[in-house]
Amino acid sequence: FFSPTPLLSLTMARRYDASTTTFSPEGRLHQVEYAIEAINNAGTCVGILASDGIVMASEKRVTSGLLAPSKTSEKTYKLCDHAACTVAGLTADANILIDQARLRAGRYTYQYQEAIPVEQLVEHVCNYKQAYTQYGGLRPFGVAFLFAGYDSHHGFQLYQSDPSGNYSGWKATVIGANNQAGKSLLKTEYGAKPKSDDDDDAPEEMETEEDPAEEEIRVPDVTEALRLAVKVLSKTMDGTVPSPEKMELFTMTLAEDGEGCAHHILTEEESKKVVDDVEAEAASAGDA
Amino acid sequence: MDTVFGVKYDGGVVIAADQGNARSILMYQRNLDKVVPLSSHSAVGVSGPNADLVNFSEYIQKNIALYELSNDGMKLSTHAQANFMRGELAAALRRGPYQVNVLLGGYDESTESSSLYFLDYLASLQKVNYGCQGYASSF
């Protein structure tokens, strides 16, 4: 999906961008694209699929020290026992969609006495968003989501959705500010073998451009994925020193008793440990 | 005057029903199939007036087909189908009830187990190992 070019403001786009229900002569929906732009200025969210769960890390943007913490989380939301999401964009818009998702999940369970398959939940929210790009003359939702969920059909899944109502499944992805930088880091680091201590023994095979499809992706576990997520956030957060207070780290795994899923937002202490591990790894890599 | 039997066994379910469709002394039909397939892995034996027998079973059948079409071939488990059916019976109950008593049986590959459900026209739902509806239930 391409983003609007800087030239847009100088061209005739202005005549076709006021209404969501109108295509431009180039076949674009400008309102939808502007909504996506709004999200590119919002706090970053990283999502990573692990072998034993899912990690979602979000940048917390504290606008004022006087703010009272009213919710347990400002970026991560539980949708049902087996699904959660993080938000990038207009929080007020997100709240409406999160309500929709929760209702849908609940109604499905009421009807079938079973957990809603994750993709169906995502598709429902996306269909709701799509309506605002086609009917009613209302503006689209300025929200992008990362959905994390588990079901018996496809195991752990990670989905991304945007204001157009499009969604796709990912092994790892980033939304919000500097997502391109985050994604490029994930491309190289996700699935890469961890550096072993005896690196010097055998020369590592160089990854050639022709082989990426054949290269076996080694899916990280939740612990590794957390570290990778923090690494990505550090890169997207303008290179400021990564600190636990600015990040919200969330994991979803199977509950230990086997009943349902465990949703966990890391405590400051737990987050600090991950951040410290990442910094130590970076420091030792710098020495090598 | 229908009869429906259902028995669960290890690896599947047997559902049996008569094939008669009559009103008073008039025998309309001797080959009415009262065991209706709901999906590739489940079927329902239905007892009741012909109108509701056909209308209700087809309604459920087509909704289940729509689910599979809409969700990339994903199948509804027997448990989910039974609860969906019960929900429909319950919703219609205080409007215009479906006068059907059914036995829904299916085999789920995901759990490698079979299940049989008894539902009556008052929207009760009970998982059973065996059951009967219609005339058979008097014996």
This model of the complex carries an ipTM of: 0.88
Closest Cα in chain B to A115: B80
Give me the pLDDT at residue A45, please: 97
What is the token pair recorded at A9? 């403001």
DSSP code at position A67 = -
Q: Model's pTM, two decimal places? A: 0.86
Contacts of A153 in chain B (CB under 8 A): 74, 110
A128: left (phi over 0), alpha (psi -120 to 50) or beta: alpha
What is the token pair recorded at A73? 């989380």
- The verdict on a CB contact (< 8 Å) between A114 and B80 is yes
Residue A121 in this model has a pLDDT that exceeds 90: yes
Cα–Cα distance between A23 and A34 in angstroms, integer?
Answer: 14
Give me the pLDDT at residue A205, please: 47
Q: Per residue in B22-33, pLDDT tens?
A: 999 999 999 999
For chain B, strand residue ranges (E) read 3-9, 12-17, 21-23, 26-29, 35-39, 42-47, 101-108, 113-119, 125-128, 130-134
Residue B75 in this model has a pLDDT that exceeds 90: yes
Q: Which of A149-153, A207-211, A254-258 has the highest mean pLDDT?
A: A149-153
What is the token pair recorded at B49? 């007036």
Residue A85 in this model has a pLDDT that exceeds 90: yes
Contacts of B80 in chain A (CB under 8 A): 112-114
Closest Cα in chain A to B82: A112
- The verdict on a CB contact (< 8 Å) between B83 and A112 is yes
Give me the pLDDT at residue A18, please: 72
Over residues B76-104, mean pLDDT: 98
Q: Which residues contact A182 (CB under 8 A, 6 or more apart)?
A: A44, A46, A174, A232, A233, A235, A236
Q: What are phi and psi of A9, to 5 degrees?
A: -65, -15
Higher pLDDT: A244 or A212? It is A244
Give me the pLDDT at residue A215, please: 60
Q: Are A79 and A105 in contact (CB under 8 A)?
A: yes
Give me the pLDDT at residue A8, please: 47
CB-based contact, B55 to chain A, within 8 Å: no
Cα–Cα distance between A169 and B90 in angstroms, integer?
Answer: 37
Cα–Cα distance between B21 and B1 in angstroms, integer?
Answer: 8
Over residues B57-81, mean pLDDT: 96
Q: Are A129 and A165 in contact (CB under 8 A)?
A: yes
User: Which residue is listed with tokens 């290890």?
Assistant: B10
Nearest-neighbour CA in chain B from A111: distance (Å): 5
A16-21 long-range CB contacts below 8 Å, 24 or more apart?
Answer: A19/A137, A20/A132, A20/A133, A20/A134, A20/A137, A20/A138, A20/A139, A20/A140, A21/A133, A21/A134, A21/A135, A21/A136, A21/A137
Nearest to A117 among B74, B83, B84 (CB): B74
- The verdict on a CB contact (< 8 Å) between B71 and A112 is no
Nearest to A117 among B71, B83, B84 (CB): B71
CB-based contact, B87 to chain A, within 8 Å: yes
CB-based contact, A1 to chain B, within 8 Å: no
Nearest in space to B67 (alpha carbons), one of A52, A9, A112: A112
Share of chain A above pLDDT 90, in %: 68
Cα–Cα distance between B123 and A60 in angstroms, integer?
Answer: 49
Contacts of A119 in chain B (CB under 8 A): 71
Q: Per residue in A172-219, pLDDT tens?
A: 999 999 999 999 999 999 988 766 544 444 444 444 444 555 567 789
Cross-strand partners of A248: A58
Buried/exposed B116-135: b ≥16 CB within 10 Å, e otherwise = bbbbbbebebeeeeebbbbe
CB-based contact, B39 to chain A, within 8 Å: no
Q: What share of chain A is helix, strand, coil (3-state, %, to 5)?
A: 35, 20, 45
Give me the pLDDT at residue B33, please: 97
CB-based contact, A127 to chain B, within 8 Å: no
